[in-house]
Amino acid sequence: MNSLLLPWVLLIAFATSLAQTTTKQTLYDFRSDKPAMTPAKISLVTQKMVLSKVFRKYLTDGNKCNPNFEGNGTDDYLAAARKTGQIAPSIIDSTTGSFTAVGQTQTAYLISVAECGASHADNFGSDRVAIFSGQQLVTNVDADFKSSFVRKTDLNGDGIEELLMTSGYMNQGTLTQSAALVTFQGGKLNVVKDFELVTEDSCASGFPGSNAKAAVISFEIAAPGKMPTLHQDNYASSCRNVKRWRYLSSGKMPE
Structural domain includes residue 245 = yes
Structural domain includes residue 2 = no
Q: Does the pLDDT at position 106 exceed 90?
A: yes
Q: How many domains does the chain have?
A: 1
Task: Render 4-67 in DSSP notation, one character per residue.
Answer: TTHHHHHHHHHHHHHHHHHTEEEEEETTT---S--PPPPPHHHHHHHHHHH-SS--S-GGGS-T
Q: Does the pLDDT at position 14 exceed 50?
A: no
Whole-angstrom Cα distance, residue 157 to residue 216? 22
Structural domain includes residue 47 = yes
Length of the chain measured in residues: 255
Q: What confidence score (pLDDT) does residue 33 get?
A: 84
Q: Does the pLDDT at position 73 exceed 80?
A: no
Q: What is the pLDDT of residues 204-221, one digit of tens each?
A: 888 888 999 999 999 998
Structural domain includes residue 154 = yes
Pick from 32-46, 186-200, 226-240: least confident:
32-46
Which candidate, 186, 149, 169, places its Cα nearest to that of 28? 149
Structural domain includes residue 139 = yes
Whole-angstrom Cα distance, residue 68 to residue 170? 29
Average pLDDT over residues 54-78: 88
Strands 136-142 and 148-153: unpaired
Domain housing 139: 24-250
What's this model's pTM, rounded to 2 decimal places? 0.85
Do the Cβ atoms of 87 and 113 come closer than 8 Å?
Answer: yes
% of the chain surpassing 70 pLDDT: 88
Structural domain includes residue 11 = no
- Quick one: pLDDT band at residue 20, thresholds 50, 70, 90? very low
Structural domain includes residue 3 = no
- Quick one: pLDDT band at residue 167, thresholds 50, 70, 90? very high
Average pLDDT over residues 141-152: 94
- Quick one: pLDDT band at residue 182, thresholds 50, 70, 90? very high
Q: Does the pLDDT at position 168 exceed 60?
A: yes
Q: Does the pLDDT at position 11 exceed 70?
A: no
Structural domain includes residue 8 = no
From residue 169, give the alpha-carbon distance in Å to each of 10, 55, 201, 217. Answer: 50, 26, 11, 20
